[in-house]
């Protein structure tokens, strides 16, 4: 009985988070996505990531989705960085910050933070559409020795990314899906 009540409370909180994200970040118009596709709607992730109260609520819900064998959290530049920072704080798991490409100066690293070689790494992203950057970053992190089986995101736009990631051996875990928001 307690387990059922906890699930209900979680769903209530999750549905309220969905409403708040939609209110502050859902835009209508014509937007070119990273994939090159044009969409008539857009989730401006920086609007919910810049709100400390909303971001905190999002991350606390995401904690329950972290697989138990994960050793390192990897936030993708730029939108995954605020999320992974708070996830690391609340979970106690170390983080790495993953650039789109290795910097050309200083340490010349792709992934800044703790060592990922021979460690189970969870990629953290904000809004996922095609998964293109996830696939690129996962392959780069695997070349550095990371074991990548999962990616965790705030919003899955439900545009076929699950199959694309599964083809790469990656399971998508999402806090919210496009279908959780109004049409």
| Residue 127, marked binder | yes
| Residue 157, marked binder | yes
| Residue 142, marked binder | no
| Residue 99, marked binder | yes
| Residue 129, marked binder | yes
Residue 105 confidence (pLDDT): 77
Task: Please tell me which residue, 151 or 34, carries the higher pLDDT value.
Answer: 151
Domain parsing of the chain, residue ranges:
2-180
Q: What b/e string do you get for 56-66 counting C-beta neighbours within 10 Å, with b at 16 or more?
A: ebbbebbeeeb
| Residue 14, marked binder | no
Contact assessment for residue 35 and residue 133, using Cβ atoms and an 8 Å cutoff: no
Residue 4's pLDDT band, with cuts at 50, 70 and 90, is very low
Cα–chain center distance at 142: 18
Q: pLDDT over 90 for what percent of the chain?
A: 79
121 has pLDDT over 60? yes
pLDDT tens digits, one per residue of 31-88: 998 778 899 999 999 999 999 999 999 999 999 999 999 999 999 999 999 999 999 9
Q: Which residues contact 66 (CB under 8 A, 6 or more apart)?
A: 73, 87, 91, 93, 122, 152
Task: Please tell me which residue, 146 or 36, carries the higher pLDDT value.
Answer: 146
pLDDT tens digits, one per residue of 88-118: 999 999 999 999 887 777 777 889 999 999 9
Which residue spans within the chain are E strands per DSSP? 26-32, 38-43, 72-76, 95-98, 111-113, 120-128, 147-156, 171-177
Q: Which of 137, 118, 139, 129 is nearest to 162 (CA)?
A: 129
* 2-180, CATH topology level: Rossmann fold (3.40.50)
Residue 61 confidence (pLDDT): 95
146: left (phi over 0), alpha (psi -120 to 50) or beta: beta
């Amino acid at each position: 009985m307690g387990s059922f009540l906890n699930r209900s409370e979680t769903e209530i909180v999750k549905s309220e988070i969905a409403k708040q994200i939609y209110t502050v970040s859902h835009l209508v118009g014509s937007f070119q996505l990273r994939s090159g596709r044009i969409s008539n709607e857009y989730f401006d992730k920086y609007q919910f990531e810049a709100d400390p109260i909303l971001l905190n609520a999002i991350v606390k819900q995401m904690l329950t989705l972290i697989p138990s064998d994960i050793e390192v959290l990897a936030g993708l530049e730029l939108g995954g960085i605020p999320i992974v920072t708070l996830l690391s704080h609340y979970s106690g798991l170390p983080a790495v910050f993953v650039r789109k490409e290795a910097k050309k100066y200083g340490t010349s690293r792709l992934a800044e933070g703790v060592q990922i070689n021979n460690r189970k790494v969870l990629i953290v992203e904000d809004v996922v559409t095609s998964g293109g950057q996830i696939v690129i970053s996962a392959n780069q992190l695997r070349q550095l020795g990371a074991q990548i089986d999962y990616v965790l995101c705030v919003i899955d736009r439900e545009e076929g990314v699950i199959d694309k990631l599964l083809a790469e051996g990656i399971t998508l875990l999402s806090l919210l899906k496009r279908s959780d928001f109004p049409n």
